[in-house]
Amino acid sequence: MHPREQTIFALSSGRPPSAIAVVRVSGAQAGPALEDIAGMIPAARVAKRVMLRDSRGEVIDDAIVLWFRAPASATGEDVAEFHVHGGRAVLHALFAALSSIDNVRAAEPGEFTRRAFENGKIDLTEAEGLDDLIHADTERQRRQALRQLRGLLGDRAREWRRQLIEASALIEAGIDFADEGDVPEDLLKPAMAKIGQLRREIEQTLAASAQSERLRDGLTVAIAGPPNAGKSTLLNRLARRDAAIVSPYAGTTRDVIEVHLDLDGYPVMLIDTAGIRETEDPVEREGVRRAQERAAAADLVLWLADDDGEDARPPRPIGEGGVPLWEVRNKVDLSSLEDDGAKPGQLEAKPGQGAATRYFRISAVRGDGIDNLVAALESFAGAWFGSGETAGITRFRHRNILRESAASLAKTEALVGQGDEFVAEELRISIQLMGRLLGRVDIDDILDSLFKDFCIGK
């Protein structure tokens, strides 16, 4: 039997041991498996408490089972669910009992979702939404993934595709009817009006999409500065744990240290870097190189220096190329400067440097000014991510296809008057592209790469 026709099973809940574990079985053998192990098949969609037994009659567990008959199930196939106690031994015994049934095997990662997709239960954008939902860390990411899972992008793409097919039908009809191959104006005009409008809608969706993609990937904030400025201390305070080693010796941090923060629901990766200075030590030199590289690639740099210190200009290319750089003066608890004696913006903005230089005075050890800094970070994140409530484009794949579609529609418009067959042909390409967004055509390569990211049991 082909692997795709075999019945699959997997642990669908979290890692054991846990109070309850859910094992799902999907495929033609799901019913027989229930009969073998639970001794009966309950009414569809009604929870039933039963003793599970293996083929020798040994008790596996006192469990709840559920039965979903195809096609009214998550995968579109017959599905059985075993809710058992989440101990490893119980699961082991249940898996062994399932595996002993012919044509029943453990599922590959993402295989349940793949079957749901192949049986038309979800489209590709929904499958991607599900993948994002499983991997969402923050509240806002979760809401976005849920919107996508509910099929907002899919709905929109389906509607676009339907309208494209309509426009195409008008033009094809015109070609069939016209003697000279020229589509009559009264067919061409409404078709082209529709195409123009669709192109504008797609372009607007694209324009609003950068923020959704950002929400998926997160914001990177780098803490950089001279050695001993207190960068690791600040990272630990913001992360509320001792993620990085702090010491009074300059040159403590060598590697780049990453911590993930949830700032007001926004996913932020905060990185701590080696203090930047000239050094002979080859290991520290590599640390400095990495620090500069990561800080230059960050979305925001916190340039940390001693409040009492002299000039603390960041070396190139940190803070250049429009990356905002905030000047943070640390150790105000030791500082001789009066609170109002500091002039904001002591760093002059260099040419090409982000204009968004802001100035903070903190004590990473004592906590002075930290609330202020966090509030500023939150509002920066809010502005950077945008509201994120609008478009459902969260992946390069969506963006690329929509870009191609917009370009293809523009080409269609430009071809008017140069032969209606060309117009019709270009339109067919747009329809195909929209189909690809929904996963309707040439999808195998996309499927393989998508579904292998899923967890087993999904």
Ligand X SMILES: Nc1nc2c(ncn2[C@@H]2O[C@H](COP(=O)(O)OP(=O)(O)OP(=O)(O)O)[C@@H](O)[C@H]2O)c(=O)[nH]1
| CB neighbour list of residue 68: distance below 8 Å, 6 or more residues apart | 44, 45, 74, 78, 79, 80, 81
334 binds, among Mg ion, ligand X, none (CB under 5 to 8 A by kind): ligand X
Q: Is 314 in the site for ligand X (CB under 6 A)?
A: no
Q: Is 138 in the site for Mg ion (CB under 5 A)?
A: no
Size of interface with Mg ion, in residues (CB under 5 A):
4
3-state helix/strand/coil string of 361-427: ECCCCCCCCHHHHHHHHHHHHHHHHCCCCCCCCCCHHHHHHHHHHHHHHHHHHHHCCCCHHHHHHHH
Q: Is 251 in the site for ligand X (CB under 6 A)?
A: yes
Q: CA 353, CA 315: separation in Å to the nearest integer?
A: 11
In the list 331, 361, 395, 436, the residue contacting ligand X (rule: CB under 6 A) is 331
Task: Rounding to the nearest 10 degrees, give the CA dihedral for residues 197, 199, 200, 205.
Answer: 130
Q: Is 325 in the site for ligand X (CB under 6 A)?
A: no
Q: Which one-letter DSSP state was computed for residue 339?
A: G
In the list 99, 247, 387, 449, the residue contacting ligand X (rule: CB under 6 A) is 247
Q: What angle do CA 39, 41, 44 make, to 5 degrees?
A: 160
Q: From the CB of 245, what's the least distance to ligand X, in Å?
A: 7
Q: From the CB of 235, what's the least distance to ligand X, in Å?
A: 8
Q: CA 267, CA 393: separation in Å to the nearest integer?
A: 17
In the list 29, 209, 232, 292, the residue contacting Mg ion (rule: CB under 5 A) is 232
Contact 164/122 with Cβ under 8 angstroms?
no
| Residue in the structure block whose two tokens are 């400067």 | 337
Q: Is 253 in the site for Mg ion (CB under 5 A)?
A: yes
Q: Is 363 in the site for ligand X (CB under 6 A)?
A: yes
Q: From the CB of 244, what's the least distance to Mg ion, in Å?
A: 6
Please say which residue, 73 or 253, places its beta carbon nearer to Mg ion: 253
User: Contact region for ligand X (CB under 6 A) — 19-27, 200-208, 248-256, 370-378?
Assistant: 248-256
User: Contact region for ligand X (CB under 6 A) — 72-80, 129-137, 363-371, 431-439?
Assistant: 363-371
In the list 35, 159, 281, 333, the residue contacting ligand X (rule: CB under 6 A) is 333
Q: Is 335 in the site for ligand X (CB under 6 A)?
A: no
The closest alpha carbon to 318, from 397, 388, 224, belongs to 224
| Chain centroid to CA 138 | 11
Q: Is 246 in the site for ligand X (CB under 6 A)?
A: yes
Helix (H) or strand (E) holding 268: strand 266-272
Please say which residue, 91 or 224, places its beta carbon nearer to ligand X: 224
Q: At what angle do helices 152-177 and 420-438 cross, to 10 degrees?
A: 160
Show the binding pattern over residues 188-227: x = contacts ligand X (CB under 6 A), - = does not: ---------------------------------------x
Write out the residues near Mg ion by the rule CB under 5 A. Answer: 231-232, 252-253
Write out the residues near ligand X by the rule CB under 6 A. Answer: 227-233, 246-248, 250-253, 274-275, 330-331, 333-334, 363-365
